[in-house]
């Protein structure tokens, strides 16, 4: 077993001026579309954006993350019931996708499609970063990308050739025990938690985050600064309005 590629992959946020060809992107999207999906309905879509005016409009919706304007391609992976339902309308079939199960299945499919594309791109020398901000501003992103009704943007990948100074080595992960359970969930006691987070908390970068944000613990950086409740709740309400037909 050779797992080195997967164990050492890394996120890339700065890109070389070299632009991968559109044909290469097409070929990689086509390969990624062979990833598993629910019932082989392929209720997904990838919007590959390189037009600088559209990227300029997308940028604030991703909170100005520089990679949106600096990457040669920004790909918005979507749940797409529009195409399938149009087919149904031509074939005397009455689809029932406007419910939570169907939406979540398509969100899982869009995520799988996105990740397969990301892996393929990375294996072919590209690098990128996922923007989890997509669902925060889904309605506005849908307007910019002219998504029809029944197409929901899920996750975005900024992708390109890594800049020469982009190399940073892989991001550290928690010990395997944190995410792996055999047979049934094996609960953690407080000693387990101390042990699982010890290396992360001891890292120099963690001390830096705590100091920069004037917090007492690394956990507080996540809960108070990076993922505060009020922001998540406000964006949840906006999202609920956008996907109300599925809830």
Chain residues 124-183 in contact with a copy of itself, contact rule CB under 8 A:
124, 129-130, 132, 135-136, 144-148, 151, 154-155, 170-171, 173-174, 176, 178-183
- Is-contact 122 137, C-beta < 8 A? no
Question: Is residue 244 at the binding interface for a copy of itself, with CB under 8 A as the rule?
Answer: no
Q: How far is the CB of 95 from a copy of itself (least distance, A)?
A: 5
Q: Which is nearer to a copy of itself, 29 or 161 (CB)?
A: 29
Q: What character string, x for contact with a copy of itself (CB under 8 A) and - otherwise, covers 56-75? A: --------------------
Which CB sits closer to a copy of itself, 66 or 143? Answer: 143
CB 65 within 8 A of CB 131: yes
Q: From CA 24, how far away is CA 28, in angstroms rounded?
A: 6
SS3 171: coil
Among 60, 188, 214, 241, binds a copy of itself (CB under 8 A): 188
x/- letters, 74..113, toward a copy of itself (CB under 8 A):
------x--xx-xxx-xxxxxxxx-xxxx-xx-xx--xxx
Q: Find the binder of a copy of itself among 193, 213, 241, 245 (CB under 8 A).
A: 193
Nearest CA-CA partner of 239 in 141, 130, 101, 97 = 141
Q: Which of residues 35-54 bind a copy of itself (CB under 8 A)?
A: 35-36, 38-42, 44-51, 54
- 204-223 mask for a copy of itself (x: CB under 8 A)? ------------xxxxx-xx
Q: How far is CA 225 from the centre of its chain?
A: 20
Q: Burial letters for 183-220: b for 16+ Cβ neighbours within 10 Å, e otherwise? A: eeeeeeeeeeeeebbeeeeeeeebeebbeeeebeebee
- List, in order, residues 6 or more apart from 225 with CB less than 8 Å away: 213, 215
Residues from 223 through 242 that contact a copy of itself (CB under 8 A): 223-224, 226-230, 232-233, 235-236, 239-240
Distance of CA 68 to the CA centre of its chain: 13
Binding of a copy of itself at residue 198 (CB under 8 A)? no
């Amino acid at each position: 077993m050779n797992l080195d590629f997967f164990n050492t992959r890394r996120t890339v946020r700065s890109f070389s001026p070299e632009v991968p060809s559109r044909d290469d992107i097409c070929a990689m999207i086509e390969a990624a579309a062979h990833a598993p999906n629910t019932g082989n309905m392929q209720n997904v879509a990838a919007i590959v954006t390189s037009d600088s005016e559209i990227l300029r409009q997308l940028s604030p919706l991703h909170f100005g993350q520089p990679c949106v304007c600096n990457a040669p391609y920004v790909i918005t992976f979507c749940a797409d019931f529009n195409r399938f339902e149009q087919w149904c309308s031509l074939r005397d079939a009455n689809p029932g996708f406007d419910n939570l199960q169907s939406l979540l299945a398509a969100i899982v499919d869009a995520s799988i499609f996105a990740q397969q594309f990301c892996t393929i791109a990375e294996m072919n020398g590209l690098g990128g970063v996922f923007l989890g901000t997509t669902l925060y501003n889904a309605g506005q992103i849908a307007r910019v990308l002219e998504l029809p009704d029944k197409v929901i943007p899920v996750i975005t990948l900024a992708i390109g050739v890594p800049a020469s100074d982009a190399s940073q080595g892989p991001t550290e992960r928690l010990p395997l025990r944190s995410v792996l359970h055999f047979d049934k969930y094996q609960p953690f006691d407080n000693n387990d938690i101390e042990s699982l987070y010890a290396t992360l908390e001891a890292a120099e970068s963690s001390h830096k985050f705590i100091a920069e944000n004037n917090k007492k613990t690394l956990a507080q950086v996540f809960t108070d600064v990076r993922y505060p409740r009020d922001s998540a709740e406000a964006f949840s309400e906006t999202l609920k309005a956008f996907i109300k037909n599925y809830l």
